[in-house]
Amino acid sequence: MRLLNILLAGILCLNLTSLLGKPVTLNTKGLATPPPRIIRTCCSFGSELKMAVIPVKKVTQISCISNLGPHQYLGSSKEGNGIIYTKHGGFVDMGHLRDQADWTAYLYALIRESQKNGVTIQRLGHEGGTKELNLNIPADLDSTDAILLAGRIAYDLSVWHEIATWYGASYIPFVTERYSSFSIEDAYSNLLGVTLGMEALKSDLPYEQAITQLIAKTLNNLEAVATEADTHAAMESVLNVWWTRDKRLPSGKILLARQIEVYPVVRPLLLPGTANALDAAAFELTVPDQTQAHKSLSDFYQLTIKPSYKVPLHLIFPEEEKHFVTQTDFALLLRQIEKEERAQQLQTNSRIVNWRSGS
């Protein structure tokens, strides 16, 4: 994969090692309390979006490289997050990226602690249903495989967030977040955050310093545009193609395109008709799937989720009376969401972007 090779070769300022790096230091209480599902404010794709409850308020959540501050585990107002357009990675939501890096760091610490205790059951709160993580980590799992496992679990949790918001889960009660579910920048931003989180955990530098440097280097490699105005112009170029101003937040009809193909690789969605659009395959990211010895990472964990009544389990699993799902069920859940999105296309002009064709 070209992007990962660029990351590995280009980050000269970091001394990467396959040995145990310097993860975030978490005490027993810190491990027992997982990060919130949404650590940083999620960005709405689009610009000058009107809000249903405050018509005079317009929302634009764009940033640029010069606005970005140092990374802080679990967030800081100094981070300067927002959406930035990159010529090779498409739109990148910096809040999503940082969140998934932090989740990867937390899960790595939890996995290493679990090796001392055998089977670990960690409750992860409620998000479209109750979530529980079961870990069964062998004592001889090395740090490199533990990092891969942390990345895989973090990414699976990010996918569940998109599934849950599609079916009505929300951070603010009674305010749906379906408008942002499977937004065209979500999957790539999430997996990029996981990728950088894994690289930071291999670094000799402290985690936060490593992530800060990795973000700067990666945005440079992806050729992030220089200013907020540049990202705004990129968004305007796909107005009424990928999103619309005809609806108000939190309408689920703001997005006219979604990216639901999120396994086993994620390809960035670049502006249609640009020269870089043909180069997207070179910067795709692969979801961690196996250990170094080619053993499935799913052998070491299970996400057990008891969904709310809004998730139509009877439609997705008609042959069985199912009351919970695991990460192995995500493919069927995604297939159902794709069917529902295509049905919605008949009523609106929305569409699912096929990353294989870029349209």
pLDDT in tens, 270-279: 999 887 777 8
Which of 18-27, 54-63, 142-151, 164-173 is the least confident region? 18-27
The lowest-confidence range among 4-18, 156-170, 335-349 is: 4-18
Task: Specify the range with the lowest mean pLDDT, choosing from 179-188, 275-284, 289-298.
Answer: 275-284
pLDDT at 9: 34
State which amino acid sits at residue 48: E
Tell me which of 2-11, 206-215, 337-346 is least confident. Answer: 2-11
* pTM above threshold 0.85: yes
At 32, the pLDDT band (50, 70, 90 cuts) reads confident
**336: Cβ–Cβ under 8 A, 6 or more apart, which residues?**
312, 315, 316
Average predicted confidence (pLDDT) for the chain: 89
Instruction: Match 């602690």 to its residue by tokens.
Output: 113
Res. 8 pLDDT band, cuts 50 70 90: very low
The answer on pLDDT for 316 being more than 60 is: yes
A 10 A CB-CB count for 293 gives: 6
> Once rounded to an integer, what is the mean pLDDT over residues 133-156?
98
Sign of the alpha-carbon torsion through 39, 24, 115, 31: negative
| pLDDT greater than 50 at residue 11 | no
The answer to whether the peptide bond before residue 250 is cis (omega within 30 degrees of 0) is yes
**Most confident range, picked from 19-23, 29-33, 314-318:** 314-318
Q: Angle formed by the axes of helices 94-117 and 186-201, to 10°?
A: 50
The answer to whether residue 171 scores a pLDDT higher than 80 is no
Q: What percent of the chain has pLDDT over 90?
A: 70
Mean pLDDT of 100-129: 95
How far, in Å, are 166, 219, 221, 269 from residue 204 at the CA level?
39, 21, 22, 33
211's CB contacts (< 8 A; 6+ apart) are: 71, 98, 101, 196, 197, 200
